[in-house]
Amino acid sequence: MLANVFMKTTRDRWKAPAIAVASLALLFLFGMMTYRDIDLSIYTNLPEAFKQLFGISEDTGVASLAYGVILGGYGALTVTSIALAMGSSTFAGEERNRTIGLLLGNPKSRTAVLISKAASMVVLTAAMTLFLWVVGLVTPVLLDVSIAGMHVGALTFHLFAISLFFGFLALAIGAWTGSPGVAAGAAAGVLFVSFMAVGLFPLVEGFEDLAKAFPWYYFNASKPENNGVNWGHIAVLAIGTIAFAGTAIVGVNRRDLKDQASGVSLIDRLRDHPLTHKVADRLAGSTRVSRIWIKTASEHQGLLLVVAVLMFAFMGVLIGPMYNLIDEAMASLAEAFSPEILALFGGGDMASPEGWYQIETFGMMAPIAVMVVTITIGARSLAGEEERNTMGLLLANPIRRSTVIYQKTAAMVLYAVVVGFATWAGVVVGSLLGNLGMSVGNIGATCLLVTLLGLVYGALALALGAATGRTRIATFGAVGLALVAFVANGLLPFNESLSGLVKWQPFYYYLSSDPLMNGMNWGHGALLTGLTVVLIALSVILFQRRDLRQTG
């Protein structure tokens, strides 16, 4: 009998948070070392409006930049995403894995199981933020950097509050739907929109107060690293977290739980419709899953829908007209933005529509969107089948292991292309609505490059899954390396002695040729394509040589 759900859940989950915070600790060390070697006047000489927007004071130093960019930016998104992932799989994950019946066969109520699993999420999230707090205190001492006047504990406490908010949001959605995919996708969508809204609305005259409607505002609007804990903002996040917890308890006790796969896939819906059933039958093949790519695509249709809509509507269509609404005072700051600063956001500037879209859409959000899809499919393609104990059933058919990889890769490529196309269509429409005059071909080149970049990390997740059979290792390994590469791409140009290393990571071959202005760099595209092919070939070799697991 499972005597302690809390301990088992914590034991099963601790590796991913540990990998994440260890990576962030290295990034923080690297970032502070880099900032220590540059002339900070590129920040302190900026106009007052810009300094106010990004919380840069007259006495800004190495520490405050490292805290704001590494811990308050990349770190916050990473820790919040991990809490969100834990929340989405807390109860719905057991239903997806068909283990909820076994778990509830023990003398434990649904509420008790939910509380135990939620408590594990809280403890692990607290451990992550506590570790980052220690890192934030120890690293400056090691590097002899002054942190006088900085409130490291306040920043990490705000990080803890926002992470729990989104973790319990995902928990509540999963408790009501029984689908970890829906829970993760919906909560990630709220996070995505919230993060962008808080960054965009303050730039538009008359829209500044709208930022307060989004939860991310209550994480960093008060600049806790400079001003300490804002208890009013913490209270807002705490009330939301408690409300989501109560909603989850109600939802999980009112719903019939799924102890087997009961969802209706896209291909099943097409089969049921009289106009499409013949085509669907041809695509689906026989009951021996001879069309594995169709099955894989159907399993991730919800995720694709959320990501594609967000990229088309919010990061494409909406961004175009907003360029014309930017306050003239903010637009006049374009010349003050140094390349070093803009590199932290993926490059670009506000002097041109192309630069605006690069900052807001292509610098960070487009790679994240494509990678969410490709890494999810890549990690679950092989390792997911093993963890669900369905790989044996799949390979019992007359099909080679390599064929399984190729067909699942085909689904990953298809979905990456769909997200890239949705981004292209949204940006084109946004450019037309805003009368920005951007080149349709150059937009297409940029979207093609971001699609290829996403496929590199999706193939990396596939290779890690083929080597280990562990979804968490595949997911967080690929995400961690992508995060390291992204930060390195922004920081390495700061340091002359290290700048040459920037070409040894994939992000350099995405935007370094400025495709929004110059069009497609086919050499960079070929390199990203080649790297993807190599990783897929490596997946085949690793998967064919390993004994597969058929138990958890």
> How many percent of the chain have pLDDT more than 90?
21
Q: What is the pLDDT of residue 499?
A: 64
Q: Return d(Cα 311, Cα 325) in angstroms, integer.
A: 20
Residue 321 has pLDDT above 70, yes or no: yes
| Best CA proximity match to 97, nearest among 444, 526, 400, 385 | 385
Kindly state whether residues 341 and 194 are assigned to the same domain. Answer: no
- What single-letter amino acid sits at 402? S
Task: Report the SS3 class of residue 204.
Answer: strand
- Torsion angle, alpha carbons of 291, 368, 316, 512, to 10: -110
Confidence of residue 51 (pLDDT cuts 50, 70, 90): very low
Residues 321 and 252 in one domain: no
**156 lies in the same domain as 241:** yes
| Average pLDDT value over all residues in the chain | 77
Q: Do residues 207 and 188 make contact, with C-beta atoms less than 8 angstroms apart?
A: no
- For residue 401, name the pLDDT band (cuts at 50, 70, 90): confident
When mean pLDDT is compared across 83-87, 94-98, 424-428, 489-493, the lowest value belongs to: 94-98
Give yes or no: residues 377 and 232 share one domain: no
- C-alpha dihedral sign at 116, 191, 216, 212: negative
Q: Minimum mean pLDDT among 87-101, 129-143, 252-266, 533-547: which range?
A: 252-266
Binned at pLDDT 50, 70 and 90, residue 477 comes out as confident
How far apart, in Å, do the first and last CA atoms of the chain sit?
17
pTM of the complete model: 0.65
Handedness of CA 385, 388, 391, 394 (dihedral sign): negative
Total number of residues shown for the chain? 552
Report yes or no on 99 lying in a domain: yes
Overall domain count for the chain:
2
The contacts of residue 367 (CB under 8 Å, 6+ apart) are 346, 450, 453, 454, 482, 486, 507, 510
Contact indicator for 156, 220 with CB cutoff of 8 Å: no
49 confidence band (pLDDT: 50, 70, 90): very low
Q: Is the Cβ–Cβ distance between 423 and 450 less than 8 Å? A: yes
242 and 330 part of one domain:
no
Q: Tell me how far the alpha carbon of residue 433 is from its chain's centroid.
A: 28
Top pLDDT among 163 and 30 is at: 163
Average pLDDT over residues 422-434: 91
Q: How many angstroms separate the CA atoms of 87 and 89, rounded?
A: 5
Q: Are residues 67 and 210 in the same domain?
A: yes
Residue 81 pLDDT: 83
- Domain presence at residue 133: yes
Pick the residue with more confidence: 208 or 376? 376
Cα angle, residue 386 at apex, residues 380 and 390 outer, rounded to 5°: 100
| 52 is a domain residue | yes
329 and 386 housed in the same domain: yes
Of residues 12 and 326, more confidently modeled: 12
420 with 364, same domain: the answer is yes
* pLDDT tens sequence across 169-225: 999 988 888 777 778 778 877 887 787 778 767 766 677 788 888 998 999 888 888
Q: Which of 214, 241, 258 is the last residue of a domain?
A: 258
pLDDT at 422 over 60: yes
Q: What is the pLDDT of residue 260?
A: 46
Give a yes or no: residue 373 inside a domain. yes
Average pLDDT over residues 484-500: 71
The residue out of 243, 258, 273 marking a domain boundary is: 258
**Given a cut of 50, is residue 268 above it in pLDDT?**
yes
Rounded CA separation 280/269 (Å): 9
Place of tokens 């099955």: 295
Quote the domain boundaries for residue 399: 289-552
Higher local confidence (pLDDT), 292 or 120: 120
pLDDT score recorded for residue 78: 82
Q: Is residue 441, in this structure, part of any structural domain at all?
A: yes
What is the number of other CB atoms lying within 10 angstroms of the CB of residue 162? 26
Task: Examine residue 42 and state whether it is found in any structural domain, yes or no.
Answer: yes
- Sign, CA dihedral 408-414-416-419, equals negative
- Sequence letter at residue 68: G
Each residue's pLDDT tens digit, 327-372: 454 454 444 444 555 555 555 566 678 887 887 788 888 898 899 8
pLDDT for 283: 47
Query: At which of 258, 278, 300 does a domain end?
Result: 258
DSSP SS3 for 256 = coil
Q: In this structure, is residue 268 part of a structural domain?
A: no
Residues 356, 246: one domain? no
What Å distances lie between residue 25 and 18, 48, 70, 385, 477, CA to CA?
11, 31, 9, 32, 15
Do 235 and 318 share a structural domain? no
**Do 83 and 193 reside in the same domain of the chain?**
yes
Query: What is the average pLDDT across 31-38?
Result: 64
Whole-number Å distance between alpha carbons of 518 and 365: 21
Residue 288 has pLDDT above 50, yes or no: no
Q: Are 238 and 345 found together in one domain?
A: no
In the predicted structure, residue 542 carries a pLDDT above the cut 80: yes
Span 464-479, average pLDDT: 84
C-alpha to C-alpha distance for 174 and 180, rounded to whole angstroms: 6
**227, part of any domain:** yes
